[in-house]
Amino acid sequence: MPAVKILFPVLTATLAVPVFAQTPPAPAAPPAPAAAASAPVQRIEITGARDSDVEQRRRATAAKTIIGREEIEQFGDSTVGEVLRRLPGVTTPGTPGRGGPPRLRGLGSGYTQLLIDGQPIPRGFSLESLTPDQVERIEVLRAPTAETGARAIAGTINIILREGLRKRLNDLNLGLGIEDGQTTPGLSWAHNDSAGDLTYNLNAGAFQRRNTNRSETLTTVTGGAAPESSREARESHDQRRGLNLSARLQWRLGTGGDSFTLSPQFFRSDNEGNFSALRSQTGGDFLYDQAQGRNEGSFSTGRLGAQWRQRLGPGRLEAQGTLGAWRAENTSRRVESANGSATRTVDDRGDTRENSVLLGGKYTVLLGGDEARPGSEHSLVTGGEIEQLRRTESRRVLEDGDAQLTDFGDNLQAQSLRVALYAQNEWTPTPQWATHLGLRWEGIRTVGDLGDGTRPSNLNSVFTPLAHAVWKPDPASRSQVRVSLTRSWRAPALNNLIARPGLSARYPVDGPNEPTQPDRAGNPDLQPELATGIDLAFEHYPAGGGVLSVSLFRREVRDLMRSVTALETVSWSPVPRWVARTRNIGDATTQGLELEAKGRLDQWLPGSPRVEVRSNLSLFHSRVAGVPGPDNRLDQQPDGSANLGADYRWPGLPLKTGANLNWVPAYETQTSAEQRVGVSTRRVVDVYGLWTFSPAVALRVSASNLAPRDSDDFNRYVEAGVTESARTLTPSSINWQLRLELKL
């Protein structure tokens, strides 16, 4: 690979393990005097460094990308969601610069498995509530493994929180953000230390965010008896306050690596806001010309995890358990008026709670192998999990003081019980080959709620064989080929199993609504999706660092779940209403090409500055059977995404600067034979500068969403020659961040 060696020379730091050993005494040394005998015994200190992120990636049999502390903190992001959007193959829908739930390979809504410390994130929890200072590293797995779980059709993002190390750490970061004239203060603190056999890590973060949001929606109806149109300009002012607390307390039990760990976590956020809207209309039934309202809400979640590791025979036993609970409370009031007089008032109060219990255990053992070739042993892992979730929704809707949805009652429930058993084996039979074979069985029983006393239940089980292999044509080279054959699945979310509808805010319940403003309801009869897939990749790791990667993937999906809007005769209105409800609609396929390159510019072009360059390009294509084309793609999967970034340390100055361009092209999706949606291009430019005054003090300045670009999205519904189209324009702004970093 001479061309590769020229273009991608190395940057990886080598493993350094300095050892300070006690000097042995001379063989015939005379006895030491009594006073000397009481002198302290010289200690043996062994220190080492973990493999670099790139080296860990190269050595892993199952393909994964690892993002460490340096890359996580370099842009001074205020949330983990902002960090994720720059990773290869990750997209974040929403207003440019604001982010949203991360999607691997353009797929979200349950296709991307999100984990914190290897366990599913609490439902309803937003990664926007997690600060980068609480994160040790981020692992992105392109294909599922038996141990991490098979509910990952698109892949897995595993966020590892800060780990307890015996090295003392006491970092304090003070930040201030400014966006569209609104300030966002925040702080984070990380403390690491040890006391005897206890090693602990404490993390805390607090923030207050203020946002001004503006949008304009133009709705037109053509092809009917008479054309109709309306224009609504909306402005909202929102404020959100949050507190994040987490800890990792690890007790060492003996000298053989046995340990007991407690990991408590608590997150709390409160939000409040108000909005106003001005509406003009021609044709059709007149609704209102002004609307205003206010909303308040809170979200809190707590988790307590325990882990026990113990040597058992030739291997190691690990048992863990997690108790979790979250609660979301929301109240809103909307008042519509015409010619200065109130025409409709809607009050909505909701309280959702979910509790979870997860118990698991695994046994790891090394078997067989060639004594002359270390690393050739079978690394066998067997384990199981049992998880129970219970969700309760309480909601009360009043329209002009009259209770709505009374047929469904005020309290609805859904629950699920999941049991999993798995086994996986990593083995390097020859210097050229490494394999990772796994089997995982999961059974899940879900119980929904129709709201009329009926509690339909479903019992499903999924058996998923998983195979990963790495082939090195020459063991001495740093090039390798990966292949993965997997099965994966996606389970219905509990909120989609509860049939209670959510009413369209713009249209009174006693009259008709429109397909672009439907009511929303659950479907207790949902079945899980099942996917089979293949991943193929070529990777080259130059001797000093960097990476060049080319990969292909394909997934075939059965029993696809999709939100379908249809006109239904409903119990909550005297007239038929348009209702969006998740259904199993058939089969689908998705495939793609992913390219990634990281390295240093002066190694590609001798004599150029020492600029660290990172780039990635992903191209996606999908088709849903049963939906006419073109653009009958999976929901919200763009045609691709790209990132181009660079970092530079200025010689002679304690200054480091960097920039990144994130780009997702515009795309349209035919969601059904009648409905089509479109999303405009998302382009986000981030820059930062870090000035290090001393090893203990640094100042970081960053700007996200430079050259802001407005989003222009649409939703169109065509039936019987009548077309209703809603187009929404949403402006975006630059987000400036100033952060003082202190090592106390």
Which tens digits make up the pLDDT trace of 179-189? 888 888 989 99
| Distance between CA atoms of residues 191 and 162, nearest Å | 10
What is the token pair recorded at 559?
Answer: 């029993």
| Distance between CA atoms of residues 251 and 447, nearest Å | 40
pLDDT at 13 over 70: no
pLDDT at 20 over 60: no
- Domains for the chain: give ranges and CATH numbers: 46-743 (2.40.170.20)
| Radius of gyration of the chain measured on its C-alpha atoms | 28
What CA–CA distances, in Å, run from 640 to 106, 156, 678? 8, 19, 15
| Distance between CA atoms of residues 261 and 197, nearest Å | 12
pLDDT number for residue 482 = 95
| Distance between CA atoms of residues 533 and 591, nearest Å | 9
What is the token pair recorded at 288?
Answer: 């209102």
The residue among 576, 636, 358, 393 whose CA lies nearest residue 496 is: 393
Q: Are the beta carbons of 530 and 489 closer than 8 angstroms?
A: yes
Q: Reduce the DSSP state of residue 166 to 3 states and report it.
A: coil
Dihedrals φ, ψ of 495, to 5°? Answer: -65, -25
For 479-492, b where at least 16 C-beta lie within 10 A, e where not — what string?
A: bbebebbbbbbbbb
pLDDT at 77 over 70: yes
pLDDT (tens digit, 9 = 90+) per residue, 158-178?
Answer: 998 877 666 788 999 999 988
Q: Are the beta carbons of 529 and 487 closer than 8 angstroms?
A: no
295-306: average pLDDT: 93
C-alpha of 285 from chain center: 43
pLDDT number for residue 225 = 74
HSE-CB of 169 using CA atoms within 13 angstroms? 19
pLDDT bucket at 558, cuts 50 / 70 / 90: very high
Query: Poorest-confidence range of 380-389, 401-410, 720-729?
Result: 401-410
pLDDT number for residue 409 = 62
Element (H, E) at 56: helix 53-59
| Distance between CA atoms of residues 150 and 467, nearest Å | 12
pLDDT number for residue 1 = 39
Count of other CB atoms within 10 angstroms of residue 42: 10
Q: Concatenated DSSP letters for 101-154?
A: S-EETTB-TTSEEEEETTEEPPTT--GGGS-GGGEEEEEEESS-BTTTBS--SS
* Strand pairing category for 577-600 and 611-624: antiparallel
40 versus 123: the higher-pLDDT residue is 123
| Distance between CA atoms of residues 460 and 88, nearest Å | 34
| Distance between CA atoms of residues 284 and 467, nearest Å | 59
pLDDT number for residue 505 = 80
pLDDT (tens digit, 9 = 90+) per residue, 663-688?
Answer: 999 999 998 888 899 999 999 999 99
Q: Compute the 3-state secondary structure of the chain and give helix, strand, coil in percent, each to the nearest 5.
A: 5, 60, 35
pLDDT bucket at 305, cuts 50 / 70 / 90: very high
| Distance between CA atoms of residues 646 and 601, nearest Å | 9
* Ramachandran class of 109: left when φ > 0, alpha when ψ lies in -120 to 50, beta otherwise: left
Q: Are the beta carbons of 129 and 267 closer than 8 angstroms?
A: yes
pLDDT number for residue 99 = 65
pLDDT bucket at 96, cuts 50 / 70 / 90: confident
What is the token pair recorded at 205?
Answer: 């973060």
pLDDT (tens digit, 9 = 90+) per residue, 462-485?
Answer: 888 999 999 999 888 889 999 999
pLDDT number for residue 8 = 30
Mean of pLDDT over the chain: 85
pLDDT (tens digit, 9 = 90+) per residue, 112-154?
Answer: 888 888 888 876 677 777 778 888 889 999 889 998 888 889 9
What is the token pair recorded at 62?
Answer: 């199952």
| Distance between CA atoms of residues 162 and 178, nearest Å | 28
* Strand pairing category for 611-624 and 640-649: antiparallel
Torsion of CA 600, 606, 607, 610, to 10 degrees: 10
DSSP 45: E
pLDDT number for residue 4 = 33
pLDDT number for residue 38 = 41
The dihedral built from the CA positions of residue 399, 403, 406 and 412, taken in this order, carries a sign that is positive
pLDDT at 537 over 50: yes
pLDDT number for residue 410 = 65
pLDDT number for residue 181 = 84
pLDDT at 317 over 90: yes
pLDDT at 30 over 50: no
| Distance between CA atoms of residues 465 and 365, nearest Å | 21
* Ramachandran class of 516: left when φ > 0, alpha when ψ lies in -120 to 50, beta otherwise: alpha
Share of the chain above pLDDT 70, in %: 90
* Strand pairing category for 577-600 and 519-521: parallel
pLDDT at 445 over 50: yes
pLDDT at 657 over 90: yes
Prediction pTM value: 0.82
pLDDT at 58 over 50: yes
pLDDT bucket at 452, cuts 50 / 70 / 90: low
pLDDT number for residue 31 = 46
Q: Which residues contact 134 (CB under 8 A, 6 or more apart)?
A: 161, 162, 188, 190, 203, 205, 244, 246
| Distance between CA atoms of residues 203 and 694, nearest Å | 23
98 versus 404: the higher-pLDDT residue is 404
Q: Which residue has the tokens 């996917």?
A: 531
pLDDT number for residue 451 = 67
pLDDT number for residue 165 = 63
pLDDT number for residue 124 = 65
pLDDT number for residue 436 = 92
C-alpha of 340 from chain center: 45
| Distance between CA atoms of residues 267 and 328, nearest Å | 12
| Distance between CA atoms of residues 459 and 359, nearest Å | 20
| Distance between CA atoms of residues 92 and 108, nearest Å | 9
Instruction: Report the largest interatomic distance among the alpha carbons of the chain, rounded to a whole angstrom.
Output: 113
Q: Are the beta carbons of 356 and 385 closer than 8 angstroms?
A: no
678-703: average pLDDT: 94
Q: Are the beta carbons of 490 and 153 closer than 8 angstroms?
A: yes
pLDDT at 700 over 50: yes
518 versus 164: the higher-pLDDT residue is 518
| Distance between CA atoms of residues 250 and 262, nearest Å | 7
pLDDT at 7 over 70: no
| Distance between CA atoms of residues 177 and 209, nearest Å | 8
pLDDT bucket at 546, cuts 50 / 70 / 90: confident
pLDDT number for residue 135 = 87
pLDDT bucket at 649, cuts 50 / 70 / 90: very high
What is the token pair recorded at 525?
Answer: 């009869």
Q: Reduce the DSSP state of residue 430 to 3 states and report it.
A: strand
Identity at 27, one-letter amino acid code: P
297-304: average pLDDT: 92
634-643: average pLDDT: 90
| Distance between CA atoms of residues 623 and 670, nearest Å | 10
The residue among 333, 429, 318 whose CA lies nearest residue 378 is: 429
Dihedrals φ, ψ of 9, to 5°? Answer: -70, 175
| Distance between CA atoms of residues 552 and 105, nearest Å | 11
HSE-CB of 227 using CA atoms within 13 angstroms? 6
